[in-house]
Structure 1
Amino acid sequence: MITFNNIHRIGHHIYENETYHHYHYPEMLVRYDSNFLQFKKVPTLEEFKEAYSYLRDFHLSKGQKHVKFYLPENEKPDKQLMNYLKDHSFEVGFLELYKIQPKDFPEAAPQADIKLELISEKNLSTFLRLHYEQDVAFGIDFADQKIDLNRRLFHDPSIEMVLAYFNGEPAGSVTLIHTEHTVEIDHLVVEDKFQRKGIGTELQRFVMKRNLHKTVILVADGEDTARNMYRKQNYECIGVQYEIQKID
């Protein structure tokens, strides 16, 4: 059975109690998805307040300006907790977990103007530059640290990176995380000027053709339009996870 536990999390498990797990990633303090608490059960209001105080104090001691929490899969905040979050300016969203068997991905004729290649030492700088141009919107510090993160991922034997070119120009990329039975699509990126040219679809088709005997999985923002594309491509939504965040 595939759950959110199958999703690759970047971060070190540093502490747990009866209520939550604490993940921390000093290698990239500005990456919210790597510095968070994962609740073992939906917290009561008092449990959430305690967890918030703990994580806020911990993050402040590290110079971090955010707190982030994940609820258990397919569980949502109760009314009392939701009202508290709303009254105290927390952002509440949710993620959706999708899966597909490669044989179920729609067939289409290859596009001659789109070329794909795996990342190697030869083209790594092109991949890093493409991501930097996307990431700098979140600040120079974030973009600089993301380059170091992508270099670490490049040297991970369980991870592949793919670059897409449109008429010879770098246009998009995707990162793939492999396990014995699954391959996870992560950080599928297409440059704005190359949107609606089939690049995202070609990147996914590349994944499907190379992993015919694995289940392909991915996580989508529950409020992102990309999830509509995945449904049309025959992905199945198999789980939901609520996330709570606040930035000081």
Structure 2
Amino acid sequence: MEQITFEDIYTLGKIDAENAEYRHYHYPEMLTRYDSNFIEFKKVPSLAEFKETEKYLRDYHLKKDQKHVKFYFPANIKPAGGLNAYLTDQGYEIGFLELYAIQPKNFPSVRNNPEIDIQVVTDKNLEVFLNLQYQYDLNYGSEFAKQKAELIKRQFEDKNIQQVLAFYKGSPAGYVDIIISSETAEIDNLTVDELFRNKGIGSRLQKFVMESFPEKSVILVADGEDSPREMYKKQNYQYHGFKYGAQKIYQD
């Protein structure tokens, strides 16, 4: 398998500013989506450089009534020393992502359960897709859920994104987005409703991706501290590195 990096991962957002130190991503259509409104450092900043960039992003977001700042650091480097101490002291939430990839032929066999039905999202089932995601996204607030619904509609029109629904005994139970590039198919937004977990739905959704794009490398990003990453390892995904991030949400 060719080397997969975080550069292969799709970013929803436009580069608003760029210099030798960082890229600033902004997505005006969804200001509440933290992973579309952030700064990504090209090199680990000094504490002074970070503070200067922090002020820039905070001021930029304040003008747009955004109540967060978020930063990603270069892949495979953990913030340390004075920078890490500052982030901790300032109340940042620090976490890391892990990058995985697999050749579809290496994905384990999945039992064919006739109670699970996988469907590509079309005009006929788009409303079902929207409703299922809306209920899940309400966990992040009604405004976020409304903006996410508009995002889903935009992505429905994007030929490089395929939206997929899973049904269990006729009830909508899960979904995944597939982001398609020339070399890769990226699994994104893989979600199974709590009522239908541990029934093999997540595996069936992934198997659908493998069967749909057998000649591409299938890639995904997992939260480095969540349990799904252990599932991916058991499913023969290969680890390709990590990336640390830090975010802070302001109350005023």
Superposition TM-score, scaled by structure 1 size? 0.99
Comparing 108-117 with 128-137, greater Cα deviation is found at 108-117
CA distance in 2, matches of 1:156, 1:6: 18
In the alignment, which of 179, 192, 195 is matched to residue 193 of structure 1?
195
Residue pair 2:110, 2:204 contacting (<8 A) in 1 also: no
Which AA in structure 1 matches 2:39? L
CA distance in 2, matches of 1:14, 1:115: 41
CA distance in 1, matches of 2:111, 2:238: 24
1:152-191 matches, cutoff 5 A: 152-191=154-193
In the alignment, which of 105, 108, 112 is matched to residue 106 of structure 1?
108
1:19-168 matches, cutoff 5 A: 19-168=21-170
Give CA deviations for 1:95-144 in whole Å, capped at 9, x if unaligned: 00000000110013211110011000110010010000100010000000
Q: Does 1:238 align with 2:240?
A: yes
CA distance in 1, matches of 2:210, 2:189: 16
Compute the RMSD of aligned alpha carbons: 0.7
Which AA in structure 2 matches 1:182? T
CA distance in 2, matches of 1:108, 1:34: 34
Residue pair 2:110, 2:207 contacting (<8 A) in 1 also: no
CA distance in 1, matches of 2:183, 2:28: 30
Aligned length: 248
Which AA in structure 2 matches 1:59? H
In the alignment, which of 217, 227, 237 is matched to residue 225 of structure 1?
227
CA distance in 1, matches of 2:244, 2:111: 38
Give CA deviations for 1:74-114 in whole Å, capped at 9, x if unaligned: 11112111111111101110000000000110013211110
CA distance in 1, matches of 2:90, 2:17: 26
CA distance in 2, matches of 1:79, 1:226: 30
Moved segments of 4+, more than 4 Å: none
Equivalent residue of 1:76, what SS? coil
Percent identity at matched positions?
A: 54
CA distance in 2, matches of 1:108, 1:158: 26
CA distance in 1, matches of 2:111, 2:174: 19
Residue pair 2:75, 2:244 contacting (<8 A) in 1 also: yes
> How many angstroms does 1:247 deviate by?
0.2
Superposition TM-score, scaled by structure 2 size? 0.97
CA distance in 1, matches of 2:26, 2:208: 33
Residue pair 2:61, 2:67 contacting (<8 A) in 1 also: yes
Which AA in structure 2 matches 1:3? T
Equivalent residue of 1:244, what SS? strand
Equivalent residue of 2:79, what SS? coil
- Correspondence for 1:14: 16
> How many angstroms does 1:212 deviate by?
1.0
CA distance in 2, matches of 1:197, 1:84: 44
Unaligned runs of 5+ in 2: none
Give CA deviations for 1:43-78 in whole Å, capped at 9, x if unaligned: 110010001000000000000000000101111112
CA distance in 2, matches of 1:88, 1:189: 32
